[in-house]
Amino acid sequence: MSGRDILRLAAALLLGAAIAFPAGVMVASRTETAAAPMRTAPAAMRDIFSPTIRNDPYFLDRQRQGMEALETHCRRTGEMCTEARAARRRFGEPGQ
């Protein structure tokens, strides 16, 4: 192989990587949202292989527990009711 052939091969590899990388990112982002499982049972621990935390069942369970604690505190003391209502709007509906 001459120096010119190596240069062509390197240019072809760079061009292929420049095309394949964005395509892979687009495909991965589509499959991530489509493959996100909807669990109803509480999760025992965080899914460490999950690329996002927003769809992780353990994270959502913990957020719901915090929301319920805020609502209980609001009912007992009348404090932090605005925060409790905001948390209910954000985490109260499944699939959010």
33-42 pLDDT, tens per residue? 544 444 455 6
- pTM comes to 0.47
The answer for residues whose C-beta is within 8 angstroms of residue 92's C-beta and 6 or more apart is 67
Q: Residues 56, 28: one domain?
A: no
- Residues 56 and 94 both lie in one domain: yes
Question: What's the domain count of the chain?
Answer: 2
On whether both 93 and 47 belong to a single domain, the answer is yes
Is there a contact between 51 and 32 (Cβ–Cβ < 8 Å)? yes
| pLDDT tens sequence across 33-67 | 544 444 455 667 777 777 777 778 888 888 888 89
Q: Kindly state whether residues 95 and 52 are assigned to the same domain.
A: yes
Tell me the residue range of the domain where 62 lies: 38-96
Same domain, 49 and 87: yes
Same domain for 74 and 31? Answer: no
